[in-house]
Structure 1
């Protein structure tokens, strides 16, 4: 808050939920009526911007700040429209805003884009009942009704929703005040004919008012009470999320699994048991778990007043015809059930019914992960809050729940029996999630103070000398952040994986991947800054984004919705922190991951990329000088592994499952085809091999013969890897290169690593393999590329966009 006027909040407001890029800088004065100077707009950069929001947003912010005569340091807060609107557009605005707030250490607040549209009309002098029909694509609109008076704008609805445009028209046409209803919203552009046929378009506002503007955003913020309003949030950027009213197709199917439609039975899904021996796995509760779940509950609650659940009680949670939807998850390790958590949905609240983790597996973050999955299901079911009861003396459990964002809401005397009280706790959704699959620490506490208090550091000279580069990777299903110094020393490497969320669908769901990136990116960046601070031995506080030398980010290739989040956040972070932006090719990152194993590696060499989305053979003539010798004509290697694992009914991801099975198999047991092994070029094809494996499974099953899965897995691997070796050796001989490197998720396969090292090494080839932890998507490899590009002065402008089809 500015010292000159402690009642004034100066904000930068942005929204890209619609085709209007809304941007304004203004001041909000607390306690002032909306018509009496509550909002003062200093400058606005609103303009129509179809499909170019990520290109134009930061530049528009820069221009608007300049026109307002202020800099980032003069702001008190960032404000962003949360939608509903275009999924990609909403994420661009929120991700950029999160980057701006994190880079400048400013609080971030979110408001409804529909509210902003209504306030835009209010400032134009519109009064009366107003219907906002925002475009939701797919023949749908986001309908919202408001009452506009001289005092301001009032909602006539509780929460945002989506309706078929025809249904919205019919609903509004039946209103007793339909003849007086004013209309606005960009949905009128696409569906205006429907409203016209119903006789509603006669009172439509001028088309210029169909979109929100920056003034409307700031007014919605001010009317809600500004920064002091509990409904707006506490300013933590991690807590600001898009307003979603529609699920992805995969989530709609999951919704049916949860019992909202069709068969309510919960069947096992997700990662197969073959992976359980490697690390902790989570999956939905099944009927076969009832006995083990009851036994675990009895062990956990044999002391105290809590009554443990019986097998029949768990089975009843899975029965059909339940009036309230349920969400139950279990954790298991090496076939043993070690944790359970579940809840029941009542209205918009998920009531946590039970949480139990075996004593010998506690303090590993298992309860947090289980509750994260339960709360995710609850959000899919429309919940906005969670509640639970815990024994008053259970300090460990109370502490866990407080870390997840729960706060004490009351006490129930003698709830567990005479003298045994229950503490009632509630929390807003989403809960605070773990940083990654193995960390028990949450990314961000929902109720923490923001902005973080500034702390002076005495190590500034050392920080400047190290020229730290922070890099962000979000090309697929993992949000990763790393920090590297000028000498190539890795100071931080954080990864938040989504694998448990995608496993239930049998593969990566792009829409879910993008949403999860938005949820966790602030927490992962903060975790990386904290890790780097510890590595540097800082004594005066946590490393600040403004103490970085540059910000790097994966620009492509990858899933466009996932890339957009990382690119938008990185641009906001770099701009607010006043640091240059460096864009990195994800494929080049996999190549540079080999430097993490051998910093002295120098071209020329042959490089094979084997991942879920790419298979290619590359002649690296010099750093930055690459000749792609050949690529796959169809399936990538990782994709083929996933498809074969799916054909076996073994779950997702396929690579580790096949690898584990193959450890005990005979690679010569089944003679699968080696496609294009003798094609005399460097192209690959795996669709025929995949078909051969599926055909073999079908024939053996039809004949009533038991398939020996280890032999099948080992034989499949051999067919894939023999071709990889043959092509690599041919390329080495043709080019005269004496070194060979590997990269991509499949590069972690121990059998491929052993085969290439043994066969190529025997032929005098210097083989370099990236560390297994750097094979899958990670930011360490992106940081290495960004560091080198930054040293060469190869920085990007803030008008760059994600490039999902980027080539090497």
Structure 2
């Protein structure tokens, strides 16, 4: 902040049904007494936080006689609270701070409630019970005296409301305990039945307030407001894992839920085919073969299949975690360890020679250490053979340090270096797998770029539009210029976190978007500057012309992160906001391959969540001819791959297997091929494939996977061609386009070009890297909307059910 004595700070919180917003002038050297409130806009806001937040900030700044350019920093409630509410607040705050190039700070919303009570004159012991849904509360105890509100707990946690009541009833000074918190709205009767409501505070003190947040930030934790904070590093306070991760704990043999502050860092994959998943019994032979290849010249013996099977046995005495990496069905790496007295003892780390230097060992260890943390480990240890300098350098980069030597550990004259590290491991960025989420603390605010007059003129001419896509499991950001040149196209994926569950877990996807979005935007701003040859550093938000964002359809928890960030970013940078339909983005992706494409034409969308046939009569004029009645094409691929144990996502794996298969080997049904309409159904085909697998397995026959994959693809694609050709004939269109993740399938692309081309139809296909979810296609739509002046209000919300 430029002047700590006169720093203007905007505080926001949306963790509860109260939207808290205050503007203050803060003197960081005076503690709580240095907070001068300039405006307050706190108000009840149930399920409308994403609609009202940015406009509320604008109103509060106006009340304070300020504008966005006067703000020196932003403060946001990090929770705990409603998962979606916390994410809306933090994502908006990240956008505000990044758009304004201002620092972002975070504070506990429980502390905010306690400090609101302190400011109202409450003194003595205070219990805050914030609503955590599912019969649970976030309990917190404080001691309030003239100096402020002091925590009587280490960190936030979640417990059953009844358990919190019993804990508080057991306090020796329970008769003096005062209580508040929005958990009393839902569980007040429970507290009342045990007599704890006798000293309840007035209802207006049950929720976080903007002023309470400011007081908590400046005083309760001793936070120095002069220390700048990178928006990328502000994350929610989580007190429980996602349900999917809770199930993963049970896989690891744990019954109790872990208390977590964050969910870890998402890794980007080096390629869409590269997968990381827990090791299974079926991997034992391949794992042993890989171990043998890698340790041929080593002094110690490689692992046998039996040794790997014993590691995976249910009755293994100490908990284990083993992960494998596979590429196109080939096992190319593995790592594993066991837990002994809160230490992860790494037993083996192997990557095939031809796949090294791609960050695979690092990612494998990240997964194993993540499991170890869930199991309660705080440290990790391993041995490296003396003289294996590359391995020692790798482990040193992850945070391991030499702690000793074991003589003759690998045999006579073959010593081992003992290395240990604290968890979590350090996860450095590598060139082939950029990780925006593994953000290194930067000096903040970032220095403003210095431009020449020619560079400023070029930026004005280019009219750069930044676009954000967050509808599913990938955080994507692109930057496009006025004529449609893509200057940046960045993607941060959490797909490997979902792979262990066989599909996208919405809660994990949403958490990963919050972690990744600032870093991905920064990477795009840097890439665009490089593409333009600018000498003064990354593109600044003020040098953009507009911000576009996917409004829907998609996973609501994922969409709100992108929408909230984009709104905050656009407001703070004083840029117009553009709402983009994700489905229209897949349609416009064809313009990246054929800029001269013009309607009318027939368009087929084949993705993980949608299958539809559309008559594009004009840009913006779409007639949906038919959609799937059940599974989408991509969904069917994933389910078949899961039934075969091939991993997630299924499309690329099945496509690779089908290369060597006979598409006529197995006669699978072509559902609704002759239904005389444009509807699709794939659940029957999926069931037929699963039944075939079960029948062949029961008969003891080996399934030839390439033939099954090719036959399954043919059954899907024959229907796609038939419906497309019927629609072309009915409408008289002579142009055809494809879109969606499955549009990257080479066999589908070849079939449509060949068969429709024979019939005089011109086929346009999007670039393969623009088929799966990406921001380049969103940028193309946003560019055209910018040219037309089609802007969205800051009250825009995510629309998970959006249609064409």
SS of residue in 1 equivalent to 2:30: coil
The farther-off stretch of 85-94 and 370-379 is 370-379
CA distance, structure 1, for counterparts of residue 562 and residue 297 of structure 2 = 41
CA distance, structure 2, for counterparts of residue 125 and residue 518 of structure 1 = 36
Give the one of 432, 444, 447 matched to 1:453. Answer: 447
Q: Is the 8 A contact 1:294 1:308 kept in 2?
A: no
Give the one of 306, 323, 328 matched to 1:329. Answer: 323
Corresponding residue for residue 272 of structure 1? none
Corresponding residue for residue 129 of structure 1? 125
Corresponding residue for residue 575 of structure 2? 579
Q: Is the 8 A contact 1:375 1:386 kept in 2?
A: no
Corresponding residue for residue 466 of structure 2? 470
Corresponding residue for residue 730 of structure 1? 726
1:239-278 equivalent positions in 2, closer than 5 A: 239-261=233-255
Give the one of 196, 216, 236 matched to 2:230. Answer: 236
**Residues 1-30 of structure 1, C-alpha deviations (whole Å, 9 max, x = no match):** 234xx4554321111110111111223323
Q: Is the 8 A contact 2:738 2:764 kept in 1?
A: yes
1:137-216 equivalent positions in 2, closer than 5 A: 137-216=133-212
Corresponding residue for residue 13 of structure 1? 11
TM-score normalised to structure 1 length: 0.88
**Residues 720-776 of structure 1, C-alpha deviations (whole Å, 9 max, x = no match):** 111111111111111111100000111111111111111100000000011111111
**Aligned pair in 2 of structure 1 residues 435, 17: CA closer, same or farther (>3 Å)?**
farther
1:651 positional shift: 2.5
1:111 positional shift: 1.3
Corresponding residue for residue 92 of structure 1? 88
Corresponding residue for residue 488 of structure 2? 492
Give the one of 314, 336, 340 matched to 2:335. Answer: 340
1:143 positional shift: 1.0
SS of residue in 1 equivalent to 2:797: coil
1:392-411 equivalent positions in 2, closer than 5 A: none
**Aligned pair in 2 of structure 1 residues 107, 588: CA closer, same or farther (>3 Å)?**
same
1:701 positional shift: 3.3
CA distance, structure 2, for counterparts of residue 300 and residue 431 of structure 1 = 30
Q: Is the 8 A contact 1:293 1:340 kept in 2?
A: no
Corresponding residue for residue 103 of structure 2? 107
Q: Is the 8 A contact 2:291 2:302 kept in 1?
A: yes
Corresponding residue for residue 265 of structure 2? none
CA distance, structure 2, for counterparts of residue 388 and residue 7 of structure 1 = 48
1:707 positional shift: 3.0
CA distance, structure 1, for counterparts of residue 403 and residue 374 of structure 2 = 33
Corresponding residue for residue 268 of structure 1? none
Q: Is the 8 A contact 1:554 1:583 kept in 2?
A: yes
1:335 positional shift: 3.1
Give the one of 632, 639, 649 matched to 1:643. Answer: 639
**Aligned pair in 2 of structure 1 residues 63, 749: CA closer, same or farther (>3 Å)?**
same
TM-score normalised to structure 2 length: 0.89
CA distance, structure 2, for counterparts of residue 655 and residue 209 of structure 1 = 53
Q: Is the 8 A contact 1:744 1:776 kept in 2?
A: yes
Q: Over the residues paired in the alignment, what is the CA RMSD in angstroms?
A: 3.4
1:778 and 2:774 aligned? yes
1:618-657 equivalent positions in 2, closer than 5 A: 618-657=614-653
**Residues 644-676 of structure 1, C-alpha deviations (whole Å, 9 max, x = no match):** 222333322121222222222222222222222
Q: Is the 8 A contact 1:332 1:338 kept in 2?
A: yes
Corresponding residue for residue 2 of structure 2? 2
1:629 positional shift: 0.8
Q: Is the 8 A contact 2:15 2:85 kept in 1?
A: yes
CA distance, structure 2, for counterparts of residue 398 and residue 40 of structure 1 = 54
Corresponding residue for residue 266 of structure 2? none
1:75 and 2:75 aligned? no
**Residues 674-713 of structure 1, C-alpha deviations (whole Å, 9 max, x = no match):** 2222222111112222222223333333344433332222
**Aligned pair in 2 of structure 1 residues 424, 252: CA closer, same or farther (>3 Å)?**
closer
CA distance, structure 2, for counterparts of residue 315 and residue 737 of structure 1 = 59
1:806 and 2:766 aligned? no
1:28 and 2:26 aligned? yes
Q: Is the 8 A contact 2:672 2:680 kept in 1?
A: yes
Corresponding residue for residue 270 of structure 1? none
1:413 positional shift: 6.5
Q: Is the 8 A contact 2:113 2:181 kept in 1?
A: yes
SS of residue in 1 equivalent to 2:766: coil
Q: Is the 8 A contact 2:149 2:220 kept in 1?
A: no
Corresponding residue for residue 55 of structure 1? 51
Corresponding residue for residue 588 of structure 1? 584
CA distance, structure 2, for counterparts of residue 277 and residue 579 of structure 1 = 34
1:365 and 2:359 aligned? yes
**Aligned pair in 2 of structure 1 residues 291, 796: CA closer, same or farther (>3 Å)?**
same
Corresponding residue for residue 222 of structure 1? 218
**Aligned pair in 2 of structure 1 residues 74, 310: CA closer, same or farther (>3 Å)?**
farther
1:514 and 2:510 aligned? yes
SS of residue in 2 equivalent to 1:669: coil
SS of residue in 2 equivalent to 1:32: helix
SS of residue in 2 equivalent to 1:451: coil
1:551-700 equivalent positions in 2, closer than 5 A: 551-700=547-696
**Residues 252-279 of structure 1, C-alpha deviations (whole Å, 9 max, x = no match):** 11112233249xxxxxxxxxxxx99984
Give the one of 521, 531, 534 matched to 2:530. Answer: 534
1:219 positional shift: 1.1
SS of residue in 1 equivalent to 2:565: helix
**Aligned pair in 2 of structure 1 residues 640, 226: CA closer, same or farther (>3 Å)?**
same
Q: Is the 8 A contact 1:608 1:618 kept in 2?
A: yes
CA distance, structure 2, for counterparts of residue 185 and residue 568 of structure 1 = 26
**Residues 90-122 of structure 1, C-alpha deviations (whole Å, 9 max, x = no match):** 110111111111111122121111111111111
- Alignment length (residue pairs): 778
Q: Which runs of 5+ in 2 are unaligned?
A: 257-268, 409-414
Q: Is the 8 A contact 2:334 2:350 kept in 1?
A: yes
Q: Is the 8 A contact 2:273 2:653 kept in 1?
A: no
CA distance, structure 1, for counterparts of residue 388 and residue 152 of structure 2 = 43
Q: Is the 8 A contact 1:659 1:749 kept in 2?
A: yes
1:284 positional shift: 2.7
The farther-off stretch of 333-342 and 23-32 is 333-342
Corresponding residue for residue 501 of structure 2? 505
**Aligned pair in 2 of structure 1 residues 681, 412: CA closer, same or farther (>3 Å)?**
closer
1:42 positional shift: 1.6
**Aligned pair in 2 of structure 1 residues 309, 65: CA closer, same or farther (>3 Å)?**
farther
Q: Is the 8 A contact 2:590 2:767 kept in 1?
A: yes
**Aligned pair in 2 of structure 1 residues 278, 779: CA closer, same or farther (>3 Å)?**
closer
**Aligned pair in 2 of structure 1 residues 132, 415: CA closer, same or farther (>3 Å)?**
farther
1:368 positional shift: 3.8
CA distance, structure 2, for counterparts of residue 629 and residue 492 of structure 1 = 35
**Aligned pair in 2 of structure 1 residues 22, 602: CA closer, same or farther (>3 Å)?**
same
SS of residue in 2 equivalent to 1:228: coil
**Aligned pair in 2 of structure 1 residues 645, 281: CA closer, same or farther (>3 Å)?**
closer
**Residues 545-574 of structure 1, C-alpha deviations (whole Å, 9 max, x = no match):** 111100100000000000011101111111
The farther-off stretch of 771-780 and 319-328 is 319-328
The farther-off stretch of 356-365 and 389-398 is 389-398
Q: Which runs of 5+ in 1 are unaligned?
A: 263-274
